[in-house]
Amino acid sequence: MKKVFKIIGITLLIIVILLVSIPFIFQGKIKDIVKNTINNNVNAHVEFSDINLSFIRSFPQAQVDVSDLEITNFAPFKDEKLASVKSISLTMSIKELFKKPSEGPVIINKFKINQALIVLKTNKHGETNYDIAKESENQDSESTNSFSLDVQDYSIDDSALTYIDESSDIIFFITELNHSGKGKFSENVSELDTETFARVTLKMDSTEYLSNNILKLDAIIGLDLPNNKYSFKKNKAFINDLPLEFQGYFQLLETGQEIDITFENPGSDFKEFLAVIPKTYSKDIEKVETSGDFKISGRINGLISEETIPQMDINIVSNNASFKYPDLPKRVDNININTSIKNTTGKAEDTYVDISKLNFKIDNDQFQATAKLGNLTKNMTVEAYIDGILNLANISKAYPIELDTDLSGILKAKINTAFDMKAIETNAYERIKSTGSVQVSDFVYASEDMLNPINISNADLTFQTGTVALNRFEAKSGQSDINANGTITNLLGFLLSDKKLQGHFNVNSNTFNVSDFMVPDSDEDVANAKKTGTSTPLKIPAFLDCTINADAKTVIYDNLTLKNTKGNLAIKDQTATLNNLTTNLFKGTLAVSGDINTQKDVPHFNLKLNANSFDITESFNTLDLLKALAPIAKIFEGKLNTEIALNGSLDNSFSPILSTVSGNALAELLTTKTKIENSPLLNALDSKLSFIDLDKLNLDDLKTILTFNDGKVNIQPFHIAYKDIDIAIGGSHGFDQSMDYNIAFNVPAKYLGSDINRLIGKINDSEVNKISIPITANVKGSFDNPNISTDLSSSISNLTKQLIEIEKQKLINQGTNAVKDLIGGMISGNNPSPGSTPKDTTGVKTDSTKVTPPTAEDAIKNILGGFIKKNKDKNKTKKDSIN
């Protein structure tokens, strides 16, 4: 007996070893066979990381597992993923692995797909990415090697499906898909019992009709495989929590797909209407108190083909309904809905929505509307009528909607409108026919496009064909108040699509702070600003496309306060263009033209400024730009006229970034006084030059031209006067206060000290009294720490030597003439008679052409002339160096 048990044990051990080892022995071969078989039968590339065959895991059945399956398309969807599956598991009898096709269908006990991501796509040319099966060479003859499956139990877990139809602009998402079923696929006529849970999103023409809605379906599907017909029996679906019962069939034909399905909600409680709304917005509807009825029913039948869609007749009706959320104070009463969706021709463009009644009441506010939407798939047409009063604050008090900001205000509307969407998209205003009026009071509007909420105390609009008249608009935002009127040309385009708000407005304001109406460029900019501790970059709102005639008593821009500001402002594409904007500033007037562009990350400006009678002290102490252009101007008291053309970049507070600024300026000083004690530069210069009192400089009507670029200011040479001293100034400085200037003084000799004046007095000559010499000062360093060098000492020394030489020559010539006169008298004795020739004491006849010795006057002129010529040449050299 022991021997028998031993033999049985050894036999079982061998069987177990074989069951474990056989899959490993043949696994590599099985993997190659499967991969080659699949790739030989599909027009796509199929790859998977591994395939496992186990006789133990589901014993006595075999289990085949395929891991990381990927199907990649060929052209015209080259390298696009059709499907990726984390794992596929099949469980079947071991004998099914060796069954021949002629022996009947392969019976699979369980078939499981886990984490499948499938993308079905139809491009604009009608080509599909899922038609990948290769055509059979003998497709016209019945094959004796037909292959069939009989799946008894299957499931698809944690999967997703995306359908994209570019030709029809349809996107359909199914996420969190969990589907299971039982049945037989091998029989000609059979039934499939299924359960499905998923979330569904449907977009058509950029309109989202379903938004992550929950779909649950328990369906028994009848399979008529020879006729490709699938029938729905005893089916119940849930869209969110709205139950729907439906029946009918779906059949594949050569010309398309035929469908005939009818449906309705089994109950009639109004709570089922709230169930249609996504739970994100409807919250806990099981706790909501409701009254009244709600019914949805319909039929969809007809052919789905390239030319046709099914006809449909869907009706939604509710009478005298109401609801109240337990945690909210307001009730919505007198709800009446009568809506139908119809198509009677099978042509997609003939589908229309008819809202013949939509009424409700909150407190004493009643609202009613009707609308008809036609030609839904092409150029949708809209006819609507709205009449009602609505307290906007009651919306969130009656319905649990989450808003970025609390709504408040009273809306009164009575409007008739008719338009088509292309008219809005193309600004064909003549096809937008609207009449009626809208009044808004005590309304607060806030959005990501505005830095501060706008509090609209009163707004009155009248609708006309193509335009909306803004009769009155009174609002406040931040520090700013606005009173406006004008016209809006595309209000519907702004409200119903992504069009910009276009119009022309007259705006008056007592106080207008520019920063109140600037916006952060993006949430990312705001987040980065918070993270780095910097200010948020501001942008001109992108939705504005308008012109504004402005008249503001006070405008606050950065650290400036402008008075009596008037002008024209055009806003478009995040750019503000200023046309002859005038304002009072720094006790003078300023005219501005140009533009400010905020399209890029760093705003840019290009402006022309014309300042008249600016107070120099106030303007140069306030404006960094003026400080950088002329740092020395802060010592002046008086008035300034200037014309500046400049461009550059702006920082987050809309102030110029000086390192980027370039342009030119013409400046004129109307000043009477300087304060050198406030200037280290002038103090240093004053100590170097004894012949001038800088406090008494004559700067009246001073004009100069500046050019600036790359942080450097170049000043064209200009002249000023001190008494009879001419002063020429030229050079450059940087916005960093560094400088390099040359100052040339043409100084009369009389200002150069007592020694010079004493020498000139001794010479006592009119030409000498007119002597002026050039003296040059070279100014470097910075305005706060200047480094000054002059040639004053050398110039005075040279002048002194020349004057001494003149005096010496004068004395020599005076002595020579005296001796000459004495000797001449002694020789002549008597005066010669007129016409006679003087007697030559040497016995030599006098030559009348002989040059006589120079006089003292001639000697002075020769020395002085040479000195003056040298000085002129030196002065010319200095001026040339300035230029």
pLDDT digits (tens, 9 = 90+) for 440-465: 999 987 776 667 888 999 999 998 87
In whole angstroms, give the CA distance from residue 833 to residue 298: 154
Judge whether residue 526 has pLDDT over 70.
no
In whole angstroms, give the CA distance from residue 237 to residue 216: 5
Q: Distance of CA 598 to CAs 519, 578, 603, 607, Å?
A: 10, 14, 4, 14
Go through 551-575 and write b for each residue having 16 or more CB atoms within 10 A of its CB, e for each that does not. ebebbbbbeeebeebebebbbeebe
The larger pLDDT score, comparing residue 260 to residue 97, is at 260
Q: Which amino acid makes up residue 639?
A: K
Q: Distance of CA 220 to CAs 232, 420, 529, 604, 868, Å?
A: 6, 43, 58, 66, 120
Which residues, in sequence order, are CB contacts of 361 under 8 Å at separation 6+? Answer: 332, 333, 334, 367
Judge whether residue 227 has pLDDT over 90.
no
Pick the range with the lowest mean pLDDT from 212-226, 346-360, 512-526, 645-659: 512-526
Residue 721 has a pLDDT of 80
Q: What DSSP string runs through 88-134?
A: EEEEEEGGGGG--GGG-PEEESEEEEEEEEEEEEE-TTS-BSS--BP
Q: Among residues of the chain, what percentage have pLDDT more than 90?
A: 24
- Provide the Cα torsion 484, 486, 487, 491; round to 10°: 0
Which residues, in sequence order, are CB contacts of 139 under 8 Å at separation 6+? Answer: none
Residue 281 has a pLDDT of 63
In whole angstroms, give the CA distance from residue 859 to residue 875: 24
The larger pLDDT score, comparing residue 726 to residue 812, is at 726
In degrees and rounded to multiples of 5, residue 882 shows phi and psi of -65, -45
C-beta contacts of 845-850 below 8 A and 24+ residues apart: none
pLDDT category, 625, cuts 50, 70, 90? Answer: confident
- Provide the Cα torsion 30, 34, 37, 43; round to 10°: -160
Residue 818 half-sphere exposure toward CB, CA atoms < 13 A: 6
Query: Helices 792-828 & 754-763, crossing angle to 10 degrees?
Result: 20
Residue 351 half-sphere exposure toward CB, CA atoms < 13 A: 18
In whole angstroms, give the CA distance from residue 608 to residue 422: 41
In whole angstroms, give the CA distance from residue 862 to residue 538: 74
- Total Cβ atoms within 10 A of residue 738: 14
Judge whether residue 486 has pLDDT over 90.
yes
Judge whether residue 827 has pLDDT over 60.
no
Given a contact cutoff of 8 angstroms between Cβ atoms, the answer to whether 373 and 352 are in contact is yes
Residue written as token pair 């089916």: 235
Q: Among residues of the chain, what percentage have pLDDT more than 70?
A: 77
Judge whether residue 18 has pLDDT over 60.
no
Residue 386 has a pLDDT of 94
- Give the highest mean pLDDT range of 391-400, 491-500, 646-655, 754-763: 391-400
Pick the range with the lowest mean pLDDT from 53-57, 62-66, 272-276, 416-420: 53-57
The larger pLDDT score, comparing residue 879 to residue 158, is at 158
Judge whether residue 365 has pLDDT over 80.
yes
Structure tokens at 755: 């020694």
In whole angstroms, give the CA distance from residue 129 to residue 133: 11
Mean pLDDT of 819-829: 50
Structure tokens at 38: 């699949």
In whole angstroms, give the CA distance from residue 693 to residue 721: 11
Residue written as token pair 């023409």: 205
Judge whether residue 369 has pLDDT over 90.
yes
Residue 484 has a pLDDT of 93
Given a contact cutoff of 8 angstroms between Cβ atoms, the answer to whether 492 and 419 are in contact is yes
Judge whether residue 864 has pLDDT over 70.
no
Judge whether residue 843 has pLDDT over 60.
no
Residue 401 half-sphere exposure toward CB, CA atoms < 13 A: 15
pLDDT category, 331, cuts 50, 70, 90? Answer: very high
Mean pLDDT of 796-807: 80
Q: Is 564 left (phi over 0), alpha (psi -120 to 50) or beta?
A: left
The larger pLDDT score, comparing residue 716 to residue 424, is at 716
Mean pLDDT of 576-600: 91
Residue 31 has a pLDDT of 60
Judge whether residue 880 has pLDDT over 60.
no
Handedness of CA 485, 488, 494, 498 (dihedral sign): negative
CA 311 to chain centre: 45
Mean pLDDT of 161-181: 88
Which regions of 523-603 does DSSP assign to beta strands (E)? Answer: 538-539, 544-557, 560-572, 575-585, 588-597
Q: Please report which residue ranges of 209-299 form alpha helices under DSSP H.
A: 271-276, 279-282
Which residues, in sequence order, are CB contacts of 739 under 8 Å at separation 6+? Answer: 731, 732, 733, 779, 780, 781, 782, 783, 786
pLDDT category, 537, cuts 50, 70, 90? Answer: low
Closest by CA to 799, choosing from 703, 859, 868, 723, is 868
Residue 252 has a pLDDT of 84
Q: For the chain, how far is it from start to end, CA to CA, in angstroms?
A: 127
Judge whether residue 33 has pLDDT over 70.
no
Judge whether residue 883 has pLDDT over 50.
no
Pick the range with the lowest mean pLDDT from 340-354, 724-738, 826-840: 826-840
Structure tokens at 848: 């009348």
pLDDT category, 132, cuts 50, 70, 90? Answer: confident
